Chain A
Amino acid sequence: MISMSEVIEKLQNHLKSDFGEGRFARDRRIFVRVGAGSIKEAFRYAVQEMGFDHLGTITGADLGADLEVVYHLVERGRNVLSLSTRVPKEKAVVPDVSDIVPSAAIYEREVRELLGINFEGLQGASLLLLPDGWPDGTYPLRKDQSFGMLKEIKLKKG
């Protein structure tokens, strides 16, 4: 089991200038933000070379102008690394990581449907959570969608 500061140091050395910031909140909880260009490499490095091979989940968040994707990775030595990156709303695309961790696909589909972040390379366009006929471009977890607006949504027939 490597220490929390080592995890941050290793990622920093590996990613160089694309490393954003790293901190640990308390025991076993590490938060690292990296540039969108290196998120897949950071993910692969953490999974394959640092032993963070259990993907807990992927969280998406609306930050206003940007959207954020957070990968919660659990090490078999029990540290939890929350690896995040930000992408602008108009170009919300991050690479798909399900070729590295297969179960990522189900969480990526969830984030894609609820927040409209596209995962480049993710197979299949069918809906996982939202009902069939859900209008394109309506993402329920975005901050500009209120409950009132979501209530008015008419599902497409067919």
Chain B
Amino acid sequence: MGYASTIKVPFGPQHPALKEPEHFLFEVDGDTVVNVTPRIGYVHRGLEKGFELETYNHGLYLAERVCGICNIAHTVSYTQVVEELMGVQIPPRARYIRTIVAELERLQSHSLWVGIVAHEAGFDTLFMYVWRDREAIMNLFEELTGGRVLHAINTLGGVRRDITPEWETKLRKGMDSFEERTKDYLRIVNSERTFLKRTSGVGLLSPQDAVKLCAVGPTLRASGVKEDVRADDPYIAYDEIPFNVVTSESGDALARTVVRVEEMMESIGMIRYALDHMPSGTIKVRPPKIAPPGEVLSRAEAPRGELIHFGRSNGSAKPERYKIRSPTLANIPALCKTLIGVHVADIPIILAGIDPCFSCMDRMAIVDRRTGEKREIEK
């Protein structure tokens, strides 16, 4: 079977499968994908350059806005980089609060994703149910931090708000009902026949390929590779909180769903443990304004996988260089590999499988001239 008769099908930047702009050029032979070329960058905002222009304190606001869905992962990473550059140790209670909100964010992000995958698989009822339950977490966030989507809870030197006993009671109650619902989702994704037909054996990624192509996060773990930054390179309070690194062997769209739902169960357990073992004391120390020369690499497990922040200081109040590598970019090579050989009809669910977050991925240069001209990062 030669490729003489292949045709090229452009997917995006605006297309029905994804809610964010990205372009994939598929080369198809009949109904089978034989090649795929990604083109990213539609939502670049010049953030890396933006970090160099403003002080460390301003950078926090920029880091928060790298991504809406996983903003806590980004501020955790940013504060870690800057605090290490400045030599600041945050109080234990702040570490625990950061861990609790980071896990809450994982719950919110994973349930968002389960909804999207259910939708792509043509199972809109599940999508509606999951998103309804996700609201409860958004409300808990709003009550603690004041914001449903952007939380601004992490600040240099600690956290901005303390957990009150009233909120803790609400959180525990919320976790109890969310746990019941999550168990139900796990049962559904493992037994609902239409869903299994749509996801089982679809979009296979072998463990060898996942490792070779440097995949990260649930995408990697769904291929049976037991790697999680929280366990392997612990940060905030993860070295004190027990949890299991969830993996699955089958490496298909179903495995990527099951891994995420089981991770939600783990997160619920971690939140409870952190509440039970919460240290008392202050939640914030006062950080200095400048950082001595140095360089720091921070790794964190964002909901989508390993998130890397790299900062370099020159002794002034502004960073010399700030680099972010989001998990979506790391998963693009593995995604392209997965897409080769699949049917055109399976493209959406496989694209959704890495839980792509393109606004995270696209940041570094001013590309969008319309928004670039009026952003707050302008000098």
Q: Which of B41-49, B67-75, B89-97, B149-157 sits within the interface?
A: B41-49
CB-CB under 8 A from A62, the residues of chain B are 321
Binary per-residue interface labels of chain B (292-323) against chain A in the complex, 1 for a CB within 8 Å, 0 otherwise: 00111101000000101010100000001101
B364–A147 touching, CB < 8 Å: no
Q: How far is the CA of A60 from the CA of B232 in the complex (A)?
A: 26
Binary per-residue interface labels of chain B (266-283) against chain A in the complex, 1 for a CB within 8 Å, 0 otherwise: 000000000000000000
B366–A151 touching, CB < 8 Å: yes
Asked if A102 is at the interface of the complex by the 8 Å CB criterion, the answer is yes
A56 CB → nearest B CB, Å: 5
Of the candidates A57, A70, A130, which one forms a contact with B330 in the assembled complex, judged by CB atoms under 8 Å apart?
Answer: A57
B-contacting residues, A26-85, CB 8 Å: 26, 28-29, 31, 53-57, 59, 61-62, 70, 72, 74, 76, 78, 80, 82
A101–B214 touching, CB < 8 Å: yes
CB-CB under 8 A from B378, the residues of chain A are 147, 151
A130–B365 touching, CB < 8 Å: yes
Q: Can you name the residue of chain B whose Cβ is closest to the Cβ of A30?
A: B297
CB-CB under 8 A from B365, the residues of chain A are 113-114, 129-130, 140-141, 150
A54–B214 touching, CB < 8 Å: yes
Q: Can you name the residue of chain A whose Cβ is closest to the Cβ of B42?
A: A131
CB-CB under 8 A from B332, the residues of chain A are 106
Asked if B362 is at the interface of the complex by the 8 Å CB criterion, the answer is yes
In terms of DSSP, what is the predominant structure of the interface of chain B? Answer: mixed
Binary per-residue interface labels of chain A (95-108) against chain B in the complex, 1 for a CB within 8 Å, 0 otherwise: 00000011101110
Asked if B179 is at the interface of the complex by the 8 Å CB criterion, the answer is no
A70–B310 touching, CB < 8 Å: yes
Of the candidates A80, A103, A126, A153, which one forms a contact with B299 in the assembled complex, judged by CB atoms under 8 Å apart?
Answer: A80
Asked if A146 is at the interface of the complex by the 8 Å CB criterion, the answer is yes
A146–B379 touching, CB < 8 Å: yes
Asked if A158 is at the interface of the complex by the 8 Å CB criterion, the answer is no
A147–B366 touching, CB < 8 Å: yes
Q: Can you name the residue of chain B whose Cβ is closest to the Cβ of A98?
A: B333
Q: Can you name the residue of chain A whose Cβ is closest to the Cβ of B363?
A: A129
Q: Given that A25-B296, A131-B367 are known contacts, is A59 also in contact with B310, CB under 8 Å in the complex?
A: yes
Of the candidates B41, B294, B310, which one forms a contact with A130 in the assembled complex, judged by CB atoms under 8 Å apart?
Answer: B41
B379–A147 touching, CB < 8 Å: yes
CB-CB under 8 A from B310, the residues of chain A are 57, 59, 70, 72, 82
Q: Given that A25-B296, A78-B233 are known contacts, is A56 also in contact with B211, CB under 8 Å in the complex?
A: no
A131–B53 touching, CB < 8 Å: no
Asked if A2 is at the interface of the complex by the 8 Å CB criterion, the answer is no
A-contacting residues, B318-366, CB 8 Å: 320-321, 323, 325, 329-330, 332-334, 362, 364-366
Asked if A18 is at the interface of the complex by the 8 Å CB criterion, the answer is no
CB-CB under 8 A from A110, the residues of chain B are 364
Q: How far is the CA of A110 from the CA of B325 in the complex (A)?
A: 11
Q: Can you name the residue of chain B whose Cβ is closest to the Cβ of A56?
A: B308
Q: Can you name the residue of chain A whose Cβ is closest to the Cβ of B365?
A: A140
Q: Can you name the residue of chain A whose Cβ is closest to the Cβ of B209?
A: A102
CB-CB under 8 A from B377, the residues of chain A are 147
B296–A148 touching, CB < 8 Å: no
A151–B323 touching, CB < 8 Å: no
Q: Given that A25-B296, A26-B84, A59-B321 are known contacts, is A80 also in contact with B364, CB under 8 Å in the complex?
A: no
Asked if B143 is at the interface of the complex by the 8 Å CB criterion, the answer is no
- 13 A-B Cβ contacts within 8 A? A31-B295, A55-B214, A61-B320, A102-B212, A107-B325, A110-B364, A114-B48, A129-B364, A129-B367, A131-B367, A145-B49, A146-B379, A151-B369
- B residues within 8 Å of A by Cβ? 39-41, 44, 46, 48-49, 53, 84, 211-214, 227, 232-233, 294-297, 299, 306, 308, 310, 312, 320-321, 323, 325, 329-330, 332-334, 362, 364-367, 369, 372-373, 377-379
Supply 8 further A-B pairs (C-beta < 8 A) apart from A57-B323, A102-B333, A151-B373.
A53-B211, A62-B321, A70-B310, A82-B297, A82-B310, A140-B49, A147-B377, A150-B46
- A residues within 8 Å of B by Cβ? 25-26, 28-29, 31, 53-57, 59, 61-62, 70, 72, 74, 76, 78, 80, 82, 101-103, 105-107, 110, 113-114, 126-131, 140-141, 145-148, 150-151, 153
Closest 4 CB pairs of A and B: A57-B325, A129-B41, A140-B365, A103-B333
